[in-house]
Amino acid sequence: MITVNKLFFGYTKEVFIKDISFMVNKGEIFGFLGPSGAGKSTLQKILIGMLKGYSGSVTVNGLEVRRHGNAFYENIGIDFEFPTLYEKLTARQNLKFFSSLYSKETGNVDRLLGTVGLLPDADKRVSDFSKGMKSRLNFIKALVHDPDILFLDEPTGGLDPTNSHVMKQLILAEKARGKTIILTTHNMQDAHELCDRVAFIVEGRLKALDTPHNLIMKKSAAKIEYTYTENGMEKNGECEINATAADRLLNSLIKQNRILTIHSKEQTLGDVFMDITGRRLT
């Protein structure tokens, strides 16, 4: 669906995006994960044809993005990081207006408002909407023309846990409808929950690319953490889960029945990101 090969790009003469190659398959959720300023939004803007001065190749639906005409936008939906809505118009007027920009006969405004629970607020001005409502409206704005590919830039950015959960469910529902989704995030939890595959982006470079599960399994062993008492004091110990037999302290504590607590701890995607890139996500 999308092929990126040896991509380089700079806003100035200095090259910022350096030698990035990857492919996105039809029907998958593909994530760019990286800290602020890593180049995630820049990459997305190249994929949607907003930044054309790149070198290398970027094809979407088999055609080089640089050469796509306006018809390209009939097939892709874009949810920018910050809502781009007309505040003085109502939710329904916004969607009707944006629908009118496409040649496809859409007519699914009410259905879309319903899917995000905004039907009761359809005739309220957007200026009276909360942040969560605006995010949901901005999201369905990207869907009015029923595109095959969705580009979402930090879709849960700035949302509280409840709204963030709602947004993730909406994204998964679009995947279930067969859409291909490219999203950027600096949130490891979102990347883990949503993405089939994740690209780690740091300073304009791609540092790793795999499923969240494989990234975690490949890089870092899970650990066991335990507590025990010694001379009346509580103490902590830890060892890698695949090296418990070699941990003499742990084995003797078990034989003496001195373990107070014990649990295994999986590495998070954020731990792995730190391991691979040497950078934190925030």
From ligand ADP, Mg ion, none, interface partner of 242 (C-beta below 5 to 8 A by class): none
Pairwise CA distance, residues 9 & 20, whole Å: 10
User: Which window, 29-37, 96-104, 171-179, 233-241, contacts ligand ADP (CB under 6 A)?
Assistant: 29-37
List of residues contacting Mg ion (CB under 5 A): 40-41
Which structure tokens are listed for 39? 């180049």
Strand 233-240 and strand 223-230: the pairing is antiparallel
d(CA 155, CA 158): 9
> Least Å distance between CB 153 and Mg ion?
6
- The residues, ordered by sequence, that sit 6+ positions from 262 with a Cβ below 8 Å of its Cβ are 224, 225, 226, 227
Radius of gyration of the chain (CA): 23
Nearer to Mg ion, 40 or 192 (CB): 40
Q: Is 42 in the site for ligand ADP (CB under 6 A)?
A: yes
Q: At its nearest, how many Å lie between ligand ADP and the CB of residue 221?
A: 30
Pick the stretch among 35-43, 67-75, 206-214, 246-254 that binds ligand ADP (CB under 6 A): 35-43
Residue pointed to by tokens 């001195």: 258
Stretch 166-195 residues interacting with ligand ADP (CB under 6 A): 184
Judged by DSSP in three states, 155 sits in coil
Nearer to ligand ADP, 126 or 281 (CB): 281
In angstroms, the CA 186 to CA 221 distance is: 23
**In this complex, which beta carbon is closest to ligand ADP, that of residue 264 or of residue 282?**
282
- Of the pair 175, 279, the CB lying nearest ligand ADP is at 279
Find which of ligand ADP, Mg ion, none residue 37 binds, CB within 5 to 8 Å per kind.
ligand ADP
Nearer to ligand ADP, 37 or 117 (CB): 37
The 8-class DSSP code of residue 68 comes to -
Q: In what order do the strands lie in the sheet with 259-265?
A: 233-240, 223-230, 259-265
Binding residues vs ligand ADP (CB under 6 A): 11, 16, 34, 36-42, 184
